């Protein structure tokens, strides 16, 4: 038997590596096992490389609209796909190198290979069945390998992978998952995106800005269906203005593959089937937890709908085994994984006053153009819960900074409890709202009321002023509209 640890974390994504660092900070002897890429999906195939691609799209968009800002750009502006993808991959590599550095700095052992739970307190690490991702920064010196390892506490942070619909499985060539969509060898002329959640709509936005003819098919009645209906409708209008075609309450039922194209049979809202042909298709119908082949069944660890069942502190039903991040269920977001990691480890270490996860306070951000960000209850959900509410709205067209930036398409919507004034939800669409939302997240965490927000001074000129105006509007006091 190899080394004995206090904590072993399986998976080095934002859940796993943050858990490992916090455990080490608390004086626990810690190791993290990884089979493919340090830093997980988030840094290598998710949050960060997509934002790099979207940044290229944003710069292209600005350059194309330079004359709106009084600038003449000589010559043609066109995307260099290879350079865009190389930039994104280089950033992913930098991120995984960063996590390697952090493991070393915090004296966390890295074990390279595929981990499986064999009994409480024990894992076996075997040779990985996955090809290590390239490019990847060099692994920390002294990285350990295959063997049996034991720990008092084992945290499963194995993440998730793309979900596939039967009969419409991605093949990596004509039907892509986010992996292939992130590294296109050439730009398709047309693209069909199945699913308009955050992943689908970010890729739709990227490819549309790159000049691709994009069609989105969404089975629900709104794009980004988890968002407030008004915000989704606002964003949809903007996407359509940019030339995106969007079919709601529509379902891809079958796909025929040609030599270099796909033809999707799409059952539309009215029941009629339309055939849509595109060069490539992205299947973005969600992700599912990596719960297979890690020994959960043998240990009797409970799962539900493809995820490990945990309590508010990451504990599973088996003593000494914990789960965090995507494998522990939705929302499947990096910051949720990180927060769960800290809660789980602090509870293991016996720290006082550890608060369980409150899922209502997890913000959600989508980095399409325009961006969308939210926290708390949507108007529909607040009403469904029987809450008596006040709703405030403020448009970007009435905000000086947004106008100066040439970004006047957006809005902020806030929802308050009528009786107590408690902020129940905030929903934003427009430029930079993924940065603005944190103001409302802090406010909600402090159980803010409308009065405290109204007493807060927002700097001028900033788009953040729309946040305050939205609060004022909920109480009939908006000043600039």
Residues that bind ligand FAD (CB under 6 A): 10-16, 33-37, 40-42, 45-47, 50, 114-115, 157-160, 178, 199, 290, 294, 325-327, 332-335, 337, 367
Read out DSSP for 135-163? S-PPPPTT-B-SEEEEEEEEEE---EEE-
Q: Phi and psi (nearest 5°) for 465?
A: -60, -25
Nearest CB to ligand FAD, comparing residues 340 and 379: 340
Cβ nearer to ligand FAD, comparing 11 with 188: 11
Is residue 460 annotated as a catalytic residue, yes or no? yes
Of 65, 265, 335, 460, catalytic: 460
End-to-end CA separation in angstroms for the chain: 69
Closest contact distance (angstroms) between CB of 182 and ligand FAD is 7
Pairing type for strands 280-283 and 175-176 reads parallel
Backbone torsions φ then ψ of 451, nearest 5 degrees: -65, -45
Whole-number minimum distance, CB 378 to ligand FAD, in Å?
Answer: 19
Smallest gap from Cβ 128 to ligand FAD, in A, equals: 7
Task: For ligand FAD, give the closer residue by CB, 159 or 425.
Answer: 159
Shorter beta-carbon distance to ligand FAD: residue 197 or 392: 197
Q: Tokens standing for 63?
A: 């350059």
Alpha-carbon separation of residue 481 from 6, 235, 392, 470 (angstroms):
58, 21, 12, 10
* Tokens of residue 381, six digits: 């959900």
| Residues ≥6 apart with Cβ < 8 Å to 23 | 6, 7, 9, 30, 108, 345, 348, 349
Question: Minimal distance in Å, beta carbon 476 to ligand FAD?
Answer: 36
Nearer to ligand FAD, 10 or 192 (CB): 10
> Are the CB atoms for 121 and 152 separated by under 8 Å?
yes
Q: Least CB distance from residue 162 to ligand FAD, whole Å?
A: 7
What secondary structure does DSSP assign to 326-347, as a single string?
GGG-SS--HHHHHHHHHHHHHH
CB 218 within 8 A of CB 208: no
Nearer to ligand FAD, 96 or 448 (CB): 96
98: three-class secondary structure by DSSP: helix
CA distance 190 to 207: 9
Residue carrying the six token digits 């059952």: 267
Question: Please, which residue, 110 or 382, has the CB nearer to ligand FAD?
Answer: 110
Q: Name the DSSP letter for residue 349.
A: T
Q: Which two tokens stand for residue 305?
A: 């709908």
For residue 328, the minimal CB distance to ligand FAD (Å) is 8
Per DSSP bridges, beta strands 109-112 and 114-119 are unpaired
- Residue 158 CB, nearest approach to ligand FAD (Å): 4
Residue closer to ligand FAD, measured from CB, 49 or 421: 49
For the bound state, the minimum distance from the C-beta of residue 138 to ligand FAD, rounded and expressed in Å, comes to: 17
Place of tokens 């945990």: 310
User: What's the rounded Cα separation, in Å, for the pair 423 and 452?
Assistant: 10
HEC string of 384-430 equals: HCCCCEEEEEEEHHHCHHHHHHCCCCCEEEEEEECCCCEEEEEEEEC
Q: What is the smallest separation between the CB atom of 332 and ligand FAD, expressed in angstroms? A: 4
Strands 423-429, 372-376: parallel, antiparallel or unpaired by DSSP? Answer: antiparallel
- Closer residue to ligand FAD, CB minimum distance, 177 or 190: 177
In sequence order, what are the residues at sequence separation of 6 or more whose Cβ sits closer than 8 angstroms to the Cβ of residue 211? 79, 187
Bond prior to 18 in cis (omega within 30° of 0): no
Which residues participate in catalysis according to the annotation?
460
């Amino acid at each position: 038997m190899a080394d004995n640890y206090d904590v072993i974390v399986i998976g080095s994504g934002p859940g796993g590596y943050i858990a490992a660092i916090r455990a080490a900070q608390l004086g626990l002897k810690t190791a993290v096992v990884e089979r493919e890429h340090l830093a997980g999906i988030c840094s290598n195939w998710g949050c960060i490389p997509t934002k790099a691609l979207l940044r290229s799209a944003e710069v292209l968009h600005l350059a194309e609209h330079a004359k709106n800002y009084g600038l003449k750009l000589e010559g043609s502006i066109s995307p260099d796909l290879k350079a865009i993808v190389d930039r994104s991959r280089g950033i992913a590599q930098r991120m995984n190198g960063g996590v390697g550095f952090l493991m070393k700095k915090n004296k966390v052992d890295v074990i390279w290979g595929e981990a499986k739970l064999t009994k409480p307190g024990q894992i076996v690490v075997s040779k990985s069945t996955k090809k290590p991702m390239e490019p990847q920064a060099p692994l920390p010196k002294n990285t350990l390998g295959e063997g049996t390892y034991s720990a008092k506490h084992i945290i499963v942070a194995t993440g998730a992978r793309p979900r596939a619909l039967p009969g419409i499985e991605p093949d990596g060539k004509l039907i892509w998952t986010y992996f292939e969509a992130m590294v296109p060898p050439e730009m398709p002329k047309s693209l069909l995106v199945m699913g308009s959640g955050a992943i689908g709509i970010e890729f739709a936005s990227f490819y549309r800005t790159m000049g691709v003819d994009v069609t989105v098919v969404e089975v629900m009645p709104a794009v980004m269906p988890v968002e407030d209906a008004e915000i989704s409708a606002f964003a949809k209008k903007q996407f359509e203005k940019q030339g995106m075609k969007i079919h709601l309450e529509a379902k891809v039922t079958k796909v025929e593959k040609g030599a270099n194209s796909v033809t999707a049979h799409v059952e539309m809202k009215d029941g009629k089937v339309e055939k849509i042909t595109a060069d490539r298709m992205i299947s973005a119908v969600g992700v599912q937890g990596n719960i297979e082949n890690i020994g959960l069944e043998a240990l009797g660890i409970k799962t539900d709908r493809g995820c490990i069942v945990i309590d508010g502190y990451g504990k599973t039903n088996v003593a000494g085994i914990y789960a965090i991040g995507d494998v522990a269920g939705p929302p499947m977001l990096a910051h949720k994984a990180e927060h769960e990691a800290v809660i789980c480890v602090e509870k293991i270490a016996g720290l006082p006053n550890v608060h369980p996860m409150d899922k209502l306070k997890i913000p959600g951000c989508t980095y399409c153009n325009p961006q969308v960000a939210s926290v708390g209850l949507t108007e529909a959900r607040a009403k469904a819960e029987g809450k008596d509410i006040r709703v405030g709205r403020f448009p970007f067209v009435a905000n000086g900074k947004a106008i100066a930036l040439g970004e006047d398409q957006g809005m902020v919507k806030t929802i308050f409890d009528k009786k107590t004034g408690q902020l129940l939800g905030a929903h934003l669409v427009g430029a930079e709202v993924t940065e603005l939302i944190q103001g409302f997240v802090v406010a909600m965490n402090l159980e803010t009321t409308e009065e405290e927000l109204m007493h807060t001074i927002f700097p001028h000129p900033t788009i953040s002023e729309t946040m305050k105006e939205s609060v004022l509007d909920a109480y009939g006091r908006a000043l600039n509209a």
